[in-house]
Structure 1
């Protein structure tokens, strides 16, 4: 098979928990050799989530395609080993509080001396400058402070968080994108840049038309639950035996929807003549659509509306979605053999490559499973590796 896009790229990964490991996993999925540096106790996520035979599937899902090295960075010898690993690396990923890397002795100037081609990728809560730079960060707090939380729910519920840790994931995704862009620029003759993505700012960038409208009007969006803030009809509607998500985002699709459900003349009613009128009279419009959909089953309506070019679908539970035939056709649930841990199921690769399909080359590693291997590659002889292990520097 042709080499993966990032084959030959070496990443030293100092991150832990979620945002940084997600970034490093993406780079590993794309073909990079990711060396996960863990403290003697390991990444905290190793002990979280559902476990099978003591093995965390949560950890496995965010640390595939990596090799694990246990390194005690509180010891000078551990810092010296890290320096040696960085000398041959392309990318360093870290999600410490801003300034911690410099406190460890790895200032920007020192890193440039160690390896002038090294790209440093930082994931943090709020950015490395500004009044909040030193604050501890967590997904829940970043959802709240980014404005995102107030756009969820309805006026009667108040602000609501999103179920998954969105801010961690978006920041990790942006950091990986920045890393690839910086790597491309460097290899075209540009500088080895520092890349930063923060949880709060990354999430704020995803607010799309909500932030655009707020900047224009100076007004906060009103949370609308499952209804679309700026389009009507759009949302969850009730068929004879269950809800259907329907998203007619343009006037031609609205016309197709109304024609298919037997309400082709509804737009001649002044209450529904244009989108502004439909927004103002949304409860009445939704009630008419619900009454029409009540005449047939969810399954039949979904088939009819999709055939008519109206985007729609059933609201699925997560387990239903994971078992969906379309998900299976896209290979989005993987069964990965883990030596000593049986088979672990995990979500697959959302990005598809025509010539170099992504694959799990390394299952999530046991703690320190590759310490000797990686140090040997860096030029440490067996005697020195044994000495470092005896001194508690590596594990």
Structure 2
């Protein structure tokens, strides 16, 4: 199979990815490759075939989400339950670099597309799997959803205010992080392939990824045998941090360590706090959290957020405003970074999506304009033509919902 008719620029443009994943975790992993120039062929169930995807992340569920998640990809409709559909997949695998799926662990074997089966066709193939709870073990066949992983992975127990009980994070962080970890694993396997000449099976799960993201919170238990608790907007190990009310709104503060605390007290014009008993170190301030926050909070209410931001930054104290999403995209630094990328959509006109937060000196963001997310089966004819299928044969396969 030849590469795309119009190759895209990017550091990964030599790779071809077959994306059999759905919803969010897998598509997030592969979006990174698509944005970096790889050819990504999104495998979708043909219209009329059983088992279509009506879940979150589907094009009909949330159009904005779909456009942001699936830009720069091609769409091939393919029914892998049909022998002819499976044969098409096998042809694609022969020249592919990566195949990714996030079915329940047993499904891929029932379909005949497991890692050993596909790597017999192409030993250089990197096969990637994302599951909810792992490929084996007592929970292997549990359905994997982000909120469930947030709860079982410990995140909800350390999120929110203590009096409110467990709190879900406002983004699908287990899905997103498992996608990013999977992308790292795929890239590592592609690099290793340059030495060994062989692909391999890489795996991650929502549960593992969520636990890994606990980081220092998990270390508190593993090393110190302390069960971390939720502390709302405040940092559990250093005070004062978090959200404070100003005269006209709120400000985010990160006064970490003794030196920073001293600078903060001077900037807030309350230097008396520096020598206050019980305020002399982070552990002491944590024990006296309410007293410290009350004293600092009284000072913050005397000026506006903009005034305090200017004063504290000049004093070398990390702080910043708290934006709603619309105000965040209007911030001059956000505009300067160019994280919102514009693409032309055939139906919606010019739309903006969230760009990849990476910069390469030889592949500027403005090179290679973004492509809109494909309509279902947009490239089916083109891709099958590259495999040698005639227009008549493609039409016949369409009529039977094979493609």
Q: Report TM bin, short chain.
A: over 0.9
Contact 1:226 1:235 in 2 (8 A): yes
| Structure 1 runs not aligned, ≥5 long | 50-55
| RMSD, aligned α-carbons | 1.7
CA distance in 2, matches of 1:237, 1:103: 55
How far has the Cα of 1:8 moved from its partner? Answer: 1.3
Q: How many residues align?
A: 388
Seen in structure 2, the aligned counterparts of structure 1 residues 3 and 348 have a Cα distance that, compared at 3 Å, is closer
Partner SS state of residue 139, structure 2: coil
Q: Specify which of 338, 341, 345 is matched with residue 348 of structure 2.
A: 341
- Alignment partner of 1:304 is 2:317: no
Seen in structure 2, the aligned counterparts of structure 1 residues 25 and 266 have a Cα distance that, compared at 3 Å, is same
Tell me which moved more, 298-307 or 371-380.
371-380
Q: Tell me what 1:33 maps to.
A: 39
How far has the Cα of 1:297 moved from its partner? Answer: 1.5
How far has the Cα of 1:217 moved from its partner? Answer: 3.2
Q: Tell me what 1:103 maps to.
A: 110
- For residues 64-123 of structure 1, what are the alpha-carbon distances to aligned partners after superposition, in whole Å with 9 as ceiling and x for unaligned? 110001111221111111111111100001111112111111233321221111000111
| Structure 2 runs not aligned, ≥5 long | 1-6
With the length of structure 1 as denominator, give the TM-score of the two structures. 0.94
Q: Tell me what 2:26 maps to.
A: 20
Q: Tell me what 2:387 maps to.
A: 378
Tell me which moved more, 36-45 or 244-253.
36-45
Q: Tell me what 2:13 maps to.
A: 7
Contact 1:72 1:392 in 2 (8 A): yes
How far has the Cα of 1:386 moved from its partner? Answer: 2.6
Partner SS state of residue 248, structure 2: coil
CA distance in 2, matches of 1:264, 1:345: 47
Contact 1:122 1:197 in 2 (8 A): yes
CA distance in 2, matches of 1:390, 1:380: 15
Partner SS state of residue 352, structure 2: strand
Q: Specify which of 213, 217, 226 is matched with residue 219 of structure 1.
A: 226
Partner SS state of residue 223, structure 2: helix
With the length of structure 2 as denominator, give the TM-score of the two structures. 0.92
Q: Specify which of 362, 373, 379 is matched with residue 364 of structure 1.
A: 373
Contact 1:267 1:274 in 2 (8 A): no
CA distance in 1, matches of 2:69, 2:263: 42
Partner SS state of residue 59, structure 2: helix
Which runs of 4 or more aligned residues in structure 1 lie more than 6 Å from their structure 2 counterparts after TM superposition?
none
Q: Tell me what 2:239 maps to.
A: 232
How far has the Cα of 1:390 moved from its partner? Answer: 2.8
Seen in structure 2, the aligned counterparts of structure 1 residues 187 and 350 have a Cα distance that, compared at 3 Å, is same
Q: Tell me what 1:131 maps to.
A: 138
